Structure 1
């Protein structure tokens, strides 16, 4: 049985901002914040998924520690994804939601499908965190200057603090010399 469904017109087009929620911010401020937050959302989805990829593929003498750490960080990034998407909706925007849209919008370089050594995984994660944190500093200032305190608070209190803490934990796994040397 092949049934065709007629999809109605979209409730709201991506890239537009609705004013239906009276939150005290003008349309221009909302629009700019939604654009910044959708970029942050795409990058946060990317690093979240990179953590899960590395969780599944980690190998080596620090396997157990990194396996647990990557999964913990995945969960924390997943919580950020939800917070960012909900803020976009509160502002009257439409949050990116599909993997293809995230892949198209992210500024984080895509890792290969291959399994990589733990030091390479750590390096990729630190690079991704740096991209997110650089943008977060810029977005927090712009939101503050525009009077969007809710977006500023989310970016500073949640996104920046979570990513900075994760950088600390991940960077502790950077080593200059091998953990063991066979002779």
Structure 2
């Protein structure tokens, strides 16, 4: 029994239309107007700074994944798991920030080449680095994000953008501060087997 349709019109309707390209429906750096009770100036300022945080958080997330794959040494297992956990948490932060940009009527930065142009986090080598270097680079990246986040939280609060302020404080600052604590404790010089006698 032949299960293929003999109706050429039906077959054309079922065929996916591939290779489509169209014009942008909203340019990066512009705002769609939503009735949010915020001025365009406040929304534009929040969107610009949120996009910077998106770019830097994506970079931090990717740095965690790089280190997750490339970590070595006696702390391999614990750091391999920790780096992956932190990367997942940063992915959640990225999504929250990106959705806030869109909620404010902006366009979220999204593609790797655009993120690479915008990020303030230092570019790292492609090869493997030792654990102290990995940890130091991660801590420096966190500090970049925390500095930006605190500034944005103040600006958003002053402009009445309580939604952005809440996300930045609750999601960005608290997540990054906790991750800094977890990383920094790995750089404390403490004996593994024997304690020093007094």
TM-score, L = length of structure 1: 0.92
| Alignment match, 2:98 | 85
Alpha-carbon distance in structure 1 between the residues aligned to 2:126 and 2:50: 27
| Alignment match, 2:9 | none
Q: 1:4 to 1:78 in 2, by over 3 A?
A: closer
Q: 1:75 to 1:4 in 2, by over 3 A?
A: closer
Deviation string 1:11-39 (CA, Å, 9 cap, x unpaired) is 100000110x3211111111110000000
| Alignment match, 1:132 | 145
* Structure 2: gaps spanning 5 or more residues: 1-16, 194-198
Alpha-carbon distance in structure 1 between the residues aligned to 2:21 and 2:68: 39
Deviation string 1:97-117 (CA, Å, 9 cap, x unpaired) is 100000011000011101011
Number of paired residues?
A: 177
| Alignment match, 1:9 | 23
Deviation string 1:55-110 (CA, Å, 9 cap, x unpaired) is 00000100011000000000000000000000000000000010000001100001
Structure number with greater Rg is 2
User: 3-state SS of the aligned residue for 1:173?
Assistant: helix
1:33 aligned to 2:46? yes
Alpha-carbon distance in structure 1 between the residues aligned to 2:48 and 2:136: 28
| Alignment match, 2:126 | 113
Deviation string 1:126-148 (CA, Å, 9 cap, x unpaired) is 00001100111111000001110
Alpha-carbon distance in structure 2 between the residues aligned to 1:88 and 1:62: 38
Q: 1:9 to 1:172 in 2, by over 3 A?
A: same
Alpha-carbon distance in structure 1 between the residues aligned to 2:147 and 2:192: 32
TM-score, L = length of structure 2: 0.85
Q: Which runs of 4+ in 1 moved over 2 A?
A: 3-8, 175-180
Q: Alpha-carbon deviation of 1:40?
A: 0.3
The CA RMSD measured in Å over matched residues stands at: 1.7
* Structure 1: gaps spanning 5 or more residues: none
Alpha-carbon distance in structure 1 between the residues aligned to 2:44 and 2:186: 40
Q: 1:60 to 1:98 in 2, by over 3 A?
A: same
